[in-house]
Amino acid sequence: MRYTFTLLMIALCITVYAQTPVKGKWKQLFNGKNLKGWTPKIRGYELGENYGNTFRVQDGKMVVSYNQYEAFDEKFGHIFYKAPYSYYIIAVEYRFVGEQAKNGPGWAYKNSGIMIHCQPPSTMHKNQDFPISIEVQLLGGDSTGERTTCNLCTPGTNVEMDGKLVTQHCINSTSRTFRNEEWVRAEVLVLGDSVIQHIANGDTVLVYQKPQTGGGAVTDFDPAYKPEGKLLSSGYISLQSESHPVEFRKVEIMNLEKQYKKK
């Protein structure tokens, strides 16, 4: 009965948040001056090695750039914040700019992501492509065609929707298309291993439950960090480099641990 009550309260919190933002204080994870507190991990390189100056700060923005690459060649990268979180709202303001790096995969055109509930970056193998995590996929559109953002992808993970296990790697949200170099605010409400909600420019566009390890779409990982069906209640946060230049002008978090963590 107590567990049922907890689930009802979480559902109520989701509903309330969709209408009125949770009250709390935003903490800036990116200071606009340097990458203090952040550590890159790029495929084929050791943790902390920022190949080609991929992640940098320019004009007060965290920039993902490939102008020092001869070709992308599957050098998928992530930049990790220093601390793990469990109950929180993470928000970024992002836009895609310029041209995709040479040899970047077609699916990675105007493609980046917020990775949540990540395995510790120190546990990633040198040639691992993605951290075992939940990805809030950020996509950009062109002047024509439709392409949603704040989608869900699952490197080494699965989720539940409507009480059923979902093993599909990527699921589209219901967002509108954000075109060209338009700035977008993406927020993610994370309540431990219970509920995760994606929000694009204030609109709730995707909700799912029980993030857990399992599934595929990640290579050269330590199996100890992907036991089948283990619920993910916390983890690190990272931002992606997937071959298309992207800028982040804000990265902030509201810690909800004291308000919503199950007693």
- Structure confidence at residue 22 (pLDDT): 67
Per residue of the chain (263 residues), give pLDDT as tens: 333 333 444 454 554 444 445 668 999 999 999 999 999 999 999 999 999 999 999 999 999 999 999 999 999 999 999 999 999 999 999 999 999 999 999 999 999 999 999 999 999 999 999 999 999 999 999 989 999 999 999 999 999 999 999 999 999 999 999 999 999 999 999 999 999 999 999 999 999 999 999 988 999 999 999 999 999 999 999 999 999 999 999 999 999 998 876 54
Q: Where are the domains of the chain?
A: 25-260
**Residue (of 130, 180, 172) closest to 151 by Cα position:** 172
End-to-end Cα spacing for the chain: 14
State whether residue 204 is helix, strand or coil: strand
- Structure confidence at residue 42 (pLDDT): 98
User: Positive or negative CA dihedral for 13, 213, 156, 44?
Assistant: positive
Residues 6+ apart with CB under 8 A from 43: 74, 75, 76, 77, 126, 127, 128, 129
**Residue (of 130, 129, 134, 131) closest to 159 by Cα position:** 134
CATH 2.60.120.560 is the classification of domain 25-260? yes
Q: How far apart are CA 113 and CA 137, in angstroms?
A: 4
Q: Fill in the DSSP letter of residue 231.
A: B
State whether residue 8 is helix, strand or coil: helix
